[in-house]
Amino acid sequence: MFKSAIPFLSIAILFFACNTAKTQSKSMKLSGASKEIKLITLDPGHFHAALVQKNNYTQVDPTVHIYAPDGPELKAHLARIESYNKRTSEPTNWVSKVYTGSDYLSKMIAEKSGNVVVISGNNAQKTHYIQSCIEAGINVLADKPMAIKPADFLRLQELFPLAKKKGVLLYDIMTERHEISTVLQRELSKIPALFGTLEKGTPDNPAITKESVHHFFKYVSGAPLIRPAWFFDVEQQGEGVVDVSTHLVDLVLWECFPEQSISYQKDIQMQSAKRAATDLTSAQFKLVTGLPGFPGFLKKDLSKDSTLKVFSNGETHFSVKGVHAKVSVIWNFQAPEGAGDTHFSIMRGTKANLIIRQSAAEKYRPVLYVEPLANVDRNAAEMALKAAIQQLNATQFKGLAYEPTEKGWKISIPESYNVGHEAHFSQVTEKYLLYLAEGKLPAWEVPNMLAKYYVTTKAYELSRSK
């Protein structure tokens, strides 16, 4: 009697195990339910890691597990999170659980205390961190850049197929897609009656140009930003052509080829790239890092007069499907009074140019201009612009208007759309949470991420070829 029951017992155990496996498999899928996202933060060496948590999200559990080496970078990260919790307007409720052992990475993998990891810090380690997390089956939201050298790009090529196999999403934080003047530049370029079609351009006169000016000394969340010393080592942070240029290359693809998949093997031709240094005195370095002198790993970048040369500036020329583009990034030490980081962009159409300026004339705020070509009737151009604004007002951009300028028109944007750079991190995170609930990224995102990092890492090579 007992022996005859064994087969039935084995079948029952097998049946229970199969159903348990199915249940576990289903439970791993995300649906967008409240608090189902369990965040992990890995080695938050850059302030962008904290900006992801500047707001609460319904889908995200308030307890966040942090794995990092102990030190000033971790303390600064925790202080920013606490400042968000204690602010009077819309305070957050994050609870930080911190592990600081030297084995923080292996500990994170072993404990697997969350299903989404935020990575924003030392870029020399980033590709390795991303790979470790994907191999462990953890979704990754990574700050840019995900690759700073050609070898990193080769690894990145393998990580997207691995992420798909593991059933997780790898995504980088492209905040500039949410800046309103850039959004409207993209939208207006889609209206043939106003813009015509995008010019092909030439290397000397590109169809699209993007220039970004940044500053080492700045304020974040109302306090002076203290940067880690490694930020000034291009072997750890990355040079200008691979760091901030990531955003600019992304915008070229996102604006010129909306929702189109770009093949870096077939569609992109690299033309040229160059690099240049920003000089920092020892006094400037002390002001922005709080350190009394240059650490040993920066000695290689010191000139004879003890000035630190940071190769944070770069310019890249490339074409996508025959459309010529130029992106350039400039780093200064500190912005002029009343200014901050700035952006210039022009998209050249067959009927009009769409230009974003952010100079003193615009009070250092991005302003979008529509400037018809000389051979285009101005009255006809204004009729097309009026219709375009009405079309945008009728959809998701209410309150837009325009006013005349010497060369065309300035787009008037309600102040409510100018949420600021820090708020864009929440906007990116909210979009990523939607993708997690859907279980996939848009079809064009992965090939375009690869195309983007192909351009930046090839530019790294080209800038050294002469």
Q: What is the pLDDT of residues 355-379, one digit of tens each?
A: 999 988 998 899 999 999 999 999 9
Rounded to 5°, angle at Cα 46 from 43 and 47: 120
- The 10s digit of each residue's pLDDT in 274-283 is 999 999 999 9
CATH of span 176-462: 3.30.360.10
Spell out, as residue ranges, where the chain has pLDDT lower than 70. Answer: 1-28, 466
Instruction: Specify burial of residue 413 (Cβ count, 10 A radius: 0-12, 13-18, 19+).
Output: buried
The pLDDT, as a whole number, for residue 6 is: 41
CA atoms of 106 and 109, how far apart (whole Å): 5
> What homologous superfamily does CATH list for 31-172?
NAD(P)-binding Rossmann-like Domain (3.40.50.720)
CA atoms of 343 and 365, how far apart (whole Å): 9
CA atoms of 86 and 88, how far apart (whole Å): 6
The pLDDT, as a whole number, for residue 338 is: 73
Which residues neighbour 378 within 8 Å (Cβ) at sequence distance 6 or greater? 372
Ordered strands of the 323-334 beta sheet: 268-280, 308-320, 323-334, 208-217, 342-348, 352-357, 367-372, 409-412, 401-404
Is the link from the previous residue into 295 a cis peptide, with omega within 30 of 0? no
Domain ranges in the chain are 1-25, 31-172, 176-462
